[in-house]
Amino acid sequence: MVTVAITTQLTVGYRQIMNELIETEKDYVKKLGHVRVNYVCKMETLQGLPGGLVGKKNIIFSNIEKLYEFNKAYGFSYRGYCHICMLFAIYSVFLPKLQKLKQTPMQLGQVFIDHEEQLIDYSWYFKNMPAQEKLMNEVGAEYFAPIQLKLSDPFPLTESLVLPFQRMTRYSLFLERMIKCSDPATSGYDELKMAYKISNFVLHHGNNMLAVDCLNGFSGSLVEQGLIQHQGDLTVIENRFTSSVRRIFLFENLVIVAKKTTKDGAESFNFKDSYRTNELSLRENIDGHPTRFELLSKKKRTVMFQAENLEEKLKWTDFIQDLLMKQMKHLKDQQVQYQSRSTSITHYELTDGCAK
């Protein structure tokens, strides 16, 4: 009887979370559609557009390229519209998938995983938000105010423009709630945890990309280093007497160590050193130093880092461990594919030889 009661309680909990997720998703789609029809399209007419906004639609509504490609794959054609329109189109795909999960809520994590690439594209919107806010304060708010008044909108456009960030934050909270009321042994639990990591990664990725834009002196191609996974300040321990605070950039393929400088209140980062991630291993614990960890390189000297506190250290080691695990899995997958191809070729040669 106790087991039945617990199961019933969990089912009710799942249903409540899913109903709330779906209803708020509908409201979100409606609001994005309203922005698209009444604000984006108005700006595209150029009617009464002040000089400060000419050619600035993509600053107000962000970049469209990657999201356009995603929508095209599903039969949408929104060429020429800005990123907020793409978000509306994405959620006309995403919402029906969520609605199908009412009876199978533990598949929620897999839906987020399936759309990981598209959700990461959200980060470009977040990255653009400082420039968006600046332009809205300078010119945009005054231009859009009469439109808001005519529509009798209760809130200014500036509040609608933060909806994507607020929505991603709520996704993270919904996933966290699902995890808390789920049994780790339940099918779909691991996928929920992975989806939660994805949502948090997306939330921080925009800021990470802004920091990368301030990196100077790196002679290679940053695009070729994969996605930026994490960035922040760590103390590099040179020896017993020498240490220095450095900005560390953790890319999929490279760890970059840079020196932070500040001029007129603006931060920049000058390249100092780098380490290929496929040549690294992680030593998480250093005796007597709970906030330190080491990266051991096959080709370069070992580098020791010290975080400000234990929580910050664990955040770094988790990111690095996840990255190294993904690389190991990728390498194994490549080996399996190579062995499979070799077996197929050998089989073909043997059968072909017998035929002759």
Q: Is the pLDDT assigned to residue 326 strictly greater than 70?
A: yes
C-alpha closest to that of 18 among 164, 174, 186, 203:
174
Nearest Cα to 215, choosing from 186, 256, 245? 256
Q: Is the dihedral of CA 49, 53, 56, 62 positive or negative?
A: negative
**Which pLDDT value is given to residue 277?**
94
User: What does the block give as tokens for 142?
Assistant: 């005054």
Tell me which H or E stretch contains 280.
Answer: strand 280-283
pLDDT mean over 72-91: 47
Q: What percent of the chain has pLDDT over 90?
A: 56
51 vs 47 pLDDT, higher one = 51
Q: What is the pLDDT of residue 69?
A: 38
Q: Per-residue pLDDT tens for 158-213?
A: 998 888 899 899 999 999 999 998 999 999 999 999 999 999 999 999 999 999 99
Question: Which residue, among 225, 250, 239, 244, has the nearest Cα to 301 in the 3D structure?
Answer: 239
For the ranges 40-54, 88-102, 262-276, 331-345, the maximum mean pLDDT occurs at 262-276
What pLDDT, on a 0 to 100 scale, did the predictor assign at position 351? 59
| Mean pLDDT value across residues 220-227 | 93
Please tell me the predicted confidence (pLDDT) of residue 3.
42
- pLDDT for the residue numbered 78: 43
The sign of the torsion formed by the CA atoms of 220, 226, 227, 233 equals negative
Q: Rounded to an integer, what distance in angstroms lies between the CA atom of residue 356 and that of residue 7?
A: 65
